[in-house]
Homo-oligomer: A and B are copies of this chain.
Amino acid sequence: MSIIQPRTLKGFRDYLPATMAAREEVVATARRVYRGFGFAPIDTPALEYSEILLGKGGDESDRQMYRFKDHGGRDVALRFDLTVPLARFAAQHAARLGIPFKRYHVGPVWRGENTQRGRYREFVQFDFDTIGTESLLADVETLVVVHDLFAELGLSEFVIHFNNRDLLNGLLEGLGLSEQADSILRSLDKLPKIGIDGVRSELATAAGASPDQAEAILALAGLQGSNDEVLTALPAIVGDTSTARAGMAALESVLEGVRASGVAEERIRVDVSIARGLAYYTGTVFETFLTDVPGIGSVCSGGRYDDLASLYTKQRLPGIGGSLGVDRLVAAMEELGMVDDSGAAADIFVALFVADRAGDYLSLAAELRSAGLSVELYPDARKLGAQMKYADRRGHQLAVIIGEDEWERRTAQVKTLATGRSVEVPLAELTQRCSELLEASS
């Protein structure tokens, strides 16, 4: 029989225990934080009718979509984010759920992206969103959730950059370039990648901006300084349209609310260069950067999308939320040395020493577990050296070794693997003593 080569698709990857244990911790922490603000869990299918997903993220996201015909000839596609399915979900279930509706949702999304940029075609996002209110309090809360999430994850060096799309929209209105807004947004979103000259030339070629128009746009995107400096400088740069004024007022009000929520000034930054590539965003937009892992890009992004659900319902369902890039964050934490490589090993390793005592070892393992300890029993009566090598590699803390002699004397050798020290313990006291040794070594 010929062997099938065991391999994953280009742009896809397996996750081994150390990385997955870290992902589980990130997800558990995010869940606790989201729940702390009253968000509740939902799930939606990986596959949707293509018409639900097409045209929502923009041309690029349409091109990258995994789209095919199912058994019934339906035109279907794998979701490329969790926001568009949420808008569909909200339109479908709002009457039953009531608004405001606050939900979180964790799951994989798929984008047939160019993998040369170090991106994967399948990655896990963990989103939270508030549907059914235009209140800026929801914008404030979104940023506070992100703040609390990163603080809880133990990441000390992060900054949330936020902006309001109405600033640029207002400026473009004044410049008579509103029709080209999507194309201009896409160019600005590439600023970190292609630089200011690259954006300048794209603004001319793709959006037909004159040199003066391009400079006005770049003056906005290039504005930097402290939060208060930026807010002070903005009026002269964005001009005096009502849209621009609304954008500035929103920016100021959100900053005030975030400060009132106790977020330190160095964790939040008004950054008018933040554009966000996806087409559906309206007001507030944000990205989150880890200053000690600069190369990795934003690890938590989002914004307001007040018109997205109107594609599916006549009910007005504005929304705002954020999306944690779980896999990207775990990669950053690996880079920061925050991930240990034991991959959730059990506390205690029990060697299988006397094959025909299997029932005794099983019974012993069950007893230890019933006291809340985690126990791995080796399944084969191999040489003790091989079993101990396995336990060392796996990262257990204690090894329990019982030979025929010990069984007869009703004792066990308990070895602390980090130090190599062994003690002999009566079986009647084994649970108690293992608990103490684990406590001492933690």
Give residues in A with beta carbon < 8 Å to B: 1, 3-10, 12-17, 20-21, 23-24, 31, 35-38, 40-49, 51-52, 64, 66, 68-72, 74, 76, 78, 88-89, 91-93, 96-98, 100, 102-103, 108, 110, 112, 122, 130, 133, 135, 137-138, 140-141, 144, 148, 256-257, 259-262, 310-314, 343-346, 349, 352, 358-363, 365-367, 369-370, 373-380, 390, 393-394
Contact = CB atoms under 8 A, between A and B. Distances in A.
A144 B361 CA distance: 13
Nearest to A107: B108
B314 A369 contact: no
Contacts of A374: 35-38
A434 B112 CA distance: 49
Contacts of A13: 45
Contacts of A138: 379
A54 to B, nearest CB: 9
B36 A6 contact: no
A77 to B, nearest CB: 10
A428 to B, nearest CB: 17
B68 A375 contact: no
A144 B6 contact: no
Contacts of A16: 42, 93, 96-97
Pick the 6 closest A-B CB pairs, nearest first.
Answer: A38-B376, A260-B359, A68-B68, A17-B40, A38-B346, A20-B41
Given A14-B89, A41-B21, A51 B377 contact: no
A366 B262 contact: yes
B41 A343 contact: yes
B362 A140 contact: yes
Contacts of A44: 8, 14-15
Contact of A74 (B9, B38, B40, B261): B9
Contacts of A76: 9
A35 to B, nearest CB: 6
B3 A376 contact: no
A261 B17 contact: no
A363 B93 contact: no
A313 B6 contact: yes
A311 B4 CA distance: 6
A439 to B, nearest CB: 18
Contacts of A36: 346, 369, 373-375
A56 B9 CA distance: 19
